[in-house]
Amino acid sequence: MMARRALVTAAVVLTILSLASTALAQTDCTKLVPPSPWGPNDQTGATNRVTPAVTKAAAAEIQTGKITTMSYPLTDGVPLFGTRFTKTILTAVSLAPGASFGENELTYMEDTWLSQSHVGTHLDGMGHIGRKDCYYNQTPMGKFINQNNMTKLGLEHLKSFATRGVFIDAVRVFQQGGKFKGNSACKKPCLDKGTVITSADIQAGLRMYNVTLREGDIVIIHTGWGDLFEQFPAQNAVYNSGAPGIGKDAANWLVSQKVVAVGTDTWVVEVIPGENPKEAFIVHNILLTDNGIHILENVRTDLMAAEAASSRRATFFFNMTVPKAVGLTGNFVAIDAIQ
Amino acid sequence: MMSPTPAGPRGRRRRYVHRPRPAIVVALLLVVVVLAAGLAAPVSGQRRWVVAFANVTEEPGVTLEGTGFTGPEIRESFTLAARPYPMDLVFYDNHRDDTRAVANAEDAIARKVDLYVQYHRGPDANAAVGEKLKAARIPVLAVNYPVPGAPLYTIDNVAAGRVAGEALAAFATRTWPGQPMVAVVIGRVSAAADRVPERVRGATEALRDRLPAARVTALDTQGNPAQVAPLLGAFLSAHPSRKVLIAATDDSTTLAAKAAVESAGRVRDAAIVGHGVDRTIHGGMNDKKEIDPTNRNSIVIGSVAFYLDRLGYEVLPLAVRMLRGEPVPSRIVTAHKLITAANVFIEYPPYDMN
């Protein structure tokens, strides 16, 4: 009896100690990340703004039916961030003599795709970026991960991206503003790495095509830097060495406009090197962690820049689907601009 | 101010007549003058400052201040740091040459720059540059070497050395209490032009203050990292049963010292702290880095940051204060800090992903 009581007591003490140490190890996420405007259980973020009314209004952008692709080819050898990799392996065994099926001699092929999710033209989900262990909507992510995926904030919680796309030609904004500084590695005009795109630049880009942002829009910015992506693998090192992009002021302004996502033709959307050398990818924190606004990277923008310049239209129906990939932090996507 | 006229006796419609009052006119004029002055000021974005930066040298491969940093890195830091300001930079290369330094200042005067940042070693040239710019009423901000009458932003070699010495002493006290130990300061210890002896003095003083029993020896490589192995190897052989604290005067010496300790089979007996924190030791995201969160067991405890790759971020805010007519201290020094595996990603967040 005594031994049993001692065991129970020890178990209680151990439980209390372990709970206490766990509590001490966790960050108070209410102090690091703001709450979601869509409530404490929200895992969806800014796609909450894509309401039926928003989608219906966006559908009015389809006037000629012309489609402009905004995705780069997803293939081995394109620039990849850090140690990321992608590799495809083709399975074609049924092409071997005698391996076809039935009298109709059916053959088949399929692929094994070994790839990290944030490659090529891709979407950053809410589980991608946090402050310490705190993610979107004050989520203490340490409690919601296992060996394979997240159990909260995965892509499966996102709503549709069927909304209006708004195109900003930052290259032309900088050219017309007399402050364009390019990079000699680009074959077409591109803003140099480290070029900060401000809220004033974005607003100048909107005025250029007489556009006013609406709640629920997706903003795509053409910097020209994607020209280096197109030259893969020759300019991969230059492409990854930095990028033109939005600064904190522009990010905060876009937040105030209640957009759904922001994309550019760079690997990072934000300016690199950043405005403060001691801050790391701070725009990612502002958009994703604090506001649930998605980031779209390596978006192909040169075709749309040409289209907007010739048609004088910088708005379009944003056609992009994201797989319901459970517990993933992001995924490659295909984007079409339909006008 | 508009004031309504009363309706006439026959019920005519009211007419609004402008009746200016002298006091109001004066007030309005004042407002216009103030607004105009504000618009003319650079902070409004209507006028951009032109700031000249005369770099000590931009010769490829030449390292500065006894560290691994180069002139082009410093120039780049000014370019990046200027981005938030309404400012255009004019760059000069002083080529470590007095005549060129004076000629650069004369060119800047002809361009009528708003402020001149001078980074040059020669005191005579700095005095001449200071006089010429003063006569032209162009404010000067000196970097690392004084210009008479100008505020000075400078690295502090003695303080940096003290940080290194104290880090080594703290490690030794914590890890090897009561064990016999010696200390060595190794590198370009006699490079007076780069003020490395001040670094040596700071490290030596801190080690002697904190570890009075440990003898401190200086080993001069004269800037040749290949000399580290023979000098340090002999030193280690001469002290086979002692723990060895090594203050290296720069990062390349730090890496060479680590290799020498490994070759001598004395990894368990040594700890190293360097100076500089250039890219050879912290690198990019995918570089093999000595100071890295995943390399916490290295015998290189850390390196004392000189932040020369961020010089522009330190200097240009001072320049802006001067341009706004605000006071700045006569001497501002770098806040040197020990960079270790525990804080390197905080201080130097990796962003280039090659």
Name the closest residue on chain A to residue B77, using Cα atoms: A277
Identify whether A273 is preceded by a cis peptide bond (ω within 30 of 0): yes
- Does A280 contact B310 at a Cβ distance shorter than 8 Å? no
- CATH code assigned at B301: 3.40.50.2300
Cβ count near B126 (within 10 Å): 24
Specify whether A103 is located in the same domain as A205: no
Among A275, A279, A297, most B C-beta atoms within 10 A, so best to mutate, is A275
Specify whether A271 is located in the same domain as A308: yes
User: Residue B335 falls within a domain, yes or no?
Assistant: no
Specify whether B204 is located in the same domain as B130: no
- Does B349 contact A278 at a Cβ distance shorter than 8 Å? yes
pLDDT of residue B1: 32
- Does A279 contact B84 at a Cβ distance shorter than 8 Å? no
Q: What Å distances lie between residue B210 and B159, B300, B335, CA to CA?
A: 15, 20, 21
Specify whether B161 is located in the same domain as B276: yes
Task: Pick the more confident residue, A85 or B320.
Answer: B320
User: Residue A5 falls within a domain, yes or no?
Assistant: no
User: Residue B274 falls within a domain, yes or no?
Assistant: yes
Q: Measure CB to CB from residue B354 to each of A241, A274, A279 and give the nearest one.
A: A241
Q: Are B306 and B202 in contact (CB under 8 A)?
A: no
Is residue B42 over pLDDT 80?
no
- Which chain A positions have a beta carbon within 8 Å of B285's beta carbon? 82
Specify whether A245 is located in the same domain as A154: yes
pLDDT of residue B31: 46
User: What secondary structure letter does DSSP report for A272?
Assistant: B
- Which chain A positions have a beta carbon within 8 Å of B352's beta carbon? 240-242, 272
Specify whether B107 is located in the same domain as B197: no
User: Residue B183 falls within a domain, yes or no?
Assistant: yes
Is residue B23 over pLDDT 70?
no
Specify whether A101 is located in the same domain as A221: no
| C-alpha–C-alpha distance, residues A195 and A271, integer Å | 6
User: What secondary structure letter does DSSP report for B63?
Assistant: B
- Does B351 contact A267 at a Cβ distance shorter than 8 Å? no
- Which chain A positions have a beta carbon within 8 Å of B84's beta carbon? 196, 275
Q: Are B90 and B111 in contact (CB under 8 A)?
A: yes
Tell me which amino acid residue B146 is. P
Is residue B334 over pLDDT 80?
yes
Specify whether A97 is located in the same domain as A211: no
- Which chain B positions have a beta carbon within 8 Å of A240's beta carbon? 352-354
User: Residue A261 falls within a domain, yes or no?
Assistant: yes
- Which chain B positions have a beta carbon within 8 Å of A274's beta carbon? 351
Specify whether B181 is located in the same domain as B114: no
Q: What Å distances lie between residue B90 and B75, B121, B323, CA to CA?
A: 11, 20, 16
User: Residue A8 falls within a domain, yes or no?
Assistant: no
| C-alpha–C-alpha distance, residues B296 and A317, integer Å | 51
**If DSSP codes are grouped into helix, strand and coil, which group holds residue A250?**
helix
pLDDT of residue A320: 97
- Does A242 contact B349 at a Cβ distance shorter than 8 Å? no
Name the closest residue on chain A to residue B81, using Cα atoms: A275
Q: Are A150 and A327 in contact (CB under 8 A)?
A: yes
Specify whether A207 is located in the same domain as A109: no
What phi and psi, each to the nearest 5 degrees, are found at residue A27?
-90, 145
Reported ipTM: 0.82
The mean pLDDT value of chain B amounts to: 89
Specify whether A289 is located in the same domain as A204: yes
User: Residue A334 falls within a domain, yes or no?
Assistant: yes
pLDDT of residue B66: 96
pLDDT of residue A3: 53
Give the mean pLDDT of B84-98: 97
Flag residues of chain A having pLDDT under 70. Answer: 1-25
User: What secondary structure letter does DSSP report for A131?
Assistant: B
User: Residue B22 falls within a domain, yes or no?
Assistant: no
Q: Measure CB to CB from residue B351 to each of A83, A237, A280 and give the nearest one.
A: A280
Cβ count near B316 (within 10 Å): 25
Q: Are B299 and B196 in contact (CB under 8 A)?
A: no
User: Residue B39 falls within a domain, yes or no?
Assistant: no
Specify whether A229 is located in the same domain as A288: yes
Report the predicted TM-score, pTM, of the whole model to 2 decimal places.
Answer: 0.85
Specify whether B161 is located in the same domain as B146: no
User: What secondary structure letter does DSSP report for A101?
Assistant: B
- CATH code assigned at A58: 3.50.30.50
Q: How many CA atoms lie within 13 A of A23 on its CB side?
A: 6
- Which chain B positions have a beta carbon within 8 Å of A272's beta carbon? 351-352
Q: How many residues does chain A have?
A: 339
pLDDT of residue A24: 41
User: Residue B235 falls within a domain, yes or no?
Assistant: yes
Specify whether A178 is located in the same domain as A96: no
Q: Residues of chain B with pLDDT > 70: what percent?
A: 86
Specify whether B171 is located in the same domain as B264: yes
Q: Which of A103-112, B10-19, B182-191, B224-233 has the weakest average pLDDT?
A: B10-19
The range of the structural domain enclosing residue A149 comes to 29-76+119-338
User: Residue A169 falls within a domain, yes or no?
Assistant: yes
**If DSSP codes are grouped into helix, strand and coil, which group holds residue B204?**
helix
- Residues on B contacting A at a C-beta cutoff of 8 Å: 79-80, 83-84, 285-286, 310, 313, 345-354
Name the closest residue on chain B to residue A198, using Cα atoms: B84
Which residues on neighbouring strands pair with residue A196, listed in sequence order?
Answer: A245
Widest pairwise Cα distance in chain A: 88
| C-alpha–C-alpha distance, residues B12 and A79, integer Å | 79
Q: Measure CB to CB from residue B351 to each of A196, A237, A274 and give the nearest one.
A: A274
How close B347 gets to chain A, by Cα (Å)? 6
- pLDDT tier at B16 (50, 70, 90 boundaries)? very low
- Does A82 contact B351 at a Cβ distance shorter than 8 Å? no
| C-alpha–C-alpha distance, residues A63 and A193, integer Å | 36
Name the closest residue on chain B to residue A270, using Cα atoms: B351
Name the closest residue on chain A to residue B286, using Cα atoms: A82
What phi and psi, each to the nearest 5 degrees, are found at residue A336?
-120, 140
- Does B354 contact A272 at a Cβ distance shorter than 8 Å? no
- Which chain B positions have a beta carbon within 8 Å of A81's beta carbon? 353
Task: Pick the more confident residue, B1 or A183.
Answer: A183
Specify whether B270 is located in the same domain as B239: yes
Q: Residues of chain B with pLDDT > 90: what percent?
A: 79
Is residue B39 over pLDDT 80?
no
- Residue B108, class by beta-carbon neighbours within 10 Å (0-12 exposed, 13-18 middle, 19+ buried)? buried
- Does B80 contact A242 at a Cβ distance shorter than 8 Å? no
User: Residue B40 falls within a domain, yes or no?
Assistant: no
pLDDT of residue A10: 53
- Which chain A positions have a beta carbon within 8 Å of B354's beta carbon? 237, 240-241
Count of domains in chain B? Answer: 2
User: Residue A2 falls within a domain, yes or no?
Assistant: no
Specify whether B106 is located in the same domain as B193: no
Beta strand segments in chain A, E = 67-69, 86-91, 110-115, 122-124, 134-135, 139-140, 163-169, 196-197, 218-222, 245-246, 261-264, 294-297, 315-320, 330-332, 335-338
Specify whether B113 is located in the same domain as B221: no
- Does A83 contact B286 at a Cβ distance shorter than 8 Å? yes
Name the closest residue on chain A to residue B344, using Cα atoms: A278
Q: Which residues make Cβ contacts (< 8 Å) with residue B9, sequence separation at least 6?
A: none
User: What secondary structure letter does DSSP report for A70?
Assistant: -
- Which chain A positions have a beta carbon within 8 Å of B350's beta carbon? 280
- Full DSSP string of B138-163: --EEEESS--TTS-EEE--HHHHHHH
- Which chain A positions have a beta carbon within 8 Å of B348's beta carbon? 277
Specify whether A113 is located in the same domain as A123: no
- Does A273 contact B351 at a Cβ distance shorter than 8 Å? yes
Specify whether A200 is located in the same domain as A106: no
The two structure tokens encoding residue B267: 């990894």
| C-alpha–C-alpha distance, residues A95 and A83, integer Å | 35
| C-alpha–C-alpha distance, residues B243 and B181, integer Å | 4
SS3 content of chain A, % helix, strand, coil (to 5): 30, 20, 50
Q: Are A91 and A112 in contact (CB under 8 A)?
A: yes
User: Residue A257 falls within a domain, yes or no?
Assistant: yes
The range of the structural domain enclosing residue B316 comes to 49-155+310-323
pLDDT tens across B192-251, in order?
999 999 999 999 999 999 999 999 999 999 999 999 999 999 999 999 999 999 999 999
User: Residue B82 falls within a domain, yes or no?
Assistant: yes
| C-alpha–C-alpha distance, residues B169 and B207, integer Å | 6
Name the closest residue on chain B to residue A236, using Cα atoms: B354
How close B45 gets to chain A, by Cα (Å)? 12
Is residue B297 over pLDDT 50?
yes
| Residue in the structure block whose two tokens are 């006089």 | B131
Task: Pick the more confident residue, A87 or B102.
Answer: B102
User: Residue A1 falls within a domain, yes or no?
Assistant: no
